[in-house]
Amino acid sequence: MNNPFSFELHHTDAGCAARRGTFHTPHGSVEMPAFMPVATGGSVKGLEIEQIRGTAAQMLLGNAYHLTLRPGEEVVAALGGLHRFSGWDGPILTDSGGFQLFSLAHRTEITEQQVVFRSHIDGRRLEISPERAVNIQEALGADVAMVLDHVVGLPSNPEMVRKAAERTVRWAKRCRDAASRPDQALFGIVQGGLDTQLRVACARKLAKLDFAGYAVGGLSVGEQPAQMYRVLEATVPELPVQKPRYLMGVGRPEDLLEAVRRGIDLFDCVMPTRNGRNAMAFTDEGPLRLRNLKYERDQQPIQQGCQCPACSRSRGYIRHLFMAGEMLGPILLSIHNLTYYQRLLADARAAIQADRFEEFRREKLRGWDNLGDQKLQIAN
């Protein structure tokens, strides 16, 4: 059987490491660099599939930990797999649950053999080994599965970071050996905290295991942006050139462009939808807090020239929806923010192809720095 996965590297920008590529999967091709909306439990919160397609999204991300808790991977498999279950017929990537080792650290017990979770839903015991993480994702049927990795928050004890990185490599090999679906690609994940030597060593060991793609994990967990960029500068050159490179869970627009500049191809983050549900809109002039009184009679669209349904209304109307508690407000702003992210990456692809990515990045950063209601952060 021919490998249904391939990565074409079309062009690298003349001024930096930004790459223009295409990742081919059984459910379609993804033009890179690309951003995946987060569909943790099989849905992008508040949005129907046609609305997601309307944002120009190409690939979605689901989460194996959440889906095995509810409804259970056997249920998803019985209902035709994650594509048929959700109604999304494009490529899907599932995270293994490694991030929950960090986000639910108070509910986990980690041994060399496996992770034991206490469900955040009902407290029941859930055991996930590297082999089990692969089995769950094979039952879900995503195009791309992630190895089980050990994520630690930052800053952390250097010895803890070292042990987590070394365990991640051992678990990655176990995941690779357990994988059996030829129609599912398995990606390795580089760990190592802010220790660039540890990151390089982890990347080199994982490269030898010959995964279909590689992710940089364990960032955007408490470090400063400059620290993240330094880690990427050390790590990304160690990843195979002819494989896609994925930066997990990073989503500020400026971080996307800085990571693309350093050779990253793929992203995911809850930021556009979570912030949208909290009345924050992304624009070329910076983020807008639409609950602010100054938008009450503002007749402008959120972003001039944007073709999304939110931008066919006024800022004043969108503000009204939030102030009145109308559910349409979070839906429209989620659509707008995802559309903004997809347009940002599409424009980045065009800039890379034209060898003008650095100019494009500087233009965007100038716009985001000038205005906006406040320093951008993920809404609570």
Distances (CA, A) of 277 to 3, 47, 231, 318: 40, 11, 31, 12
Q: How far apart are CA 10 and CA 8, in angstroms?
A: 6
Q: Which two tokens stand for residue 41?
A: 């439990």
d(CA 143, CA 312): 35
**Catalytic positions:** 95, 268
- Give the three-state DSSP class for 42: coil
Please answer whether residues 306 and 339 qualify as being in contact, where contact means their C-beta atoms are separated by less than 8 angstroms: yes
> In this structure, what token pair is assigned to residue 324?
């009145």
Sheet holding 6-12, edge to edge: 6-12, 19-25, 28-32
DSSP string, 141-193: T-SEEE-------SS--HHHHHHHHHHHHHHHHHHHHH---TTSEEEEEE--T
Cβ pair 38, 270 in contact under 8 A? yes
Can you list the alpha helix ranges (DSSP code H) found in the chain? 49-54, 64-69, 73-78, 81-86, 100-103, 130-140, 158-178, 196-208, 225-235, 253-261, 271-277, 315-323, 328-353, 357-370
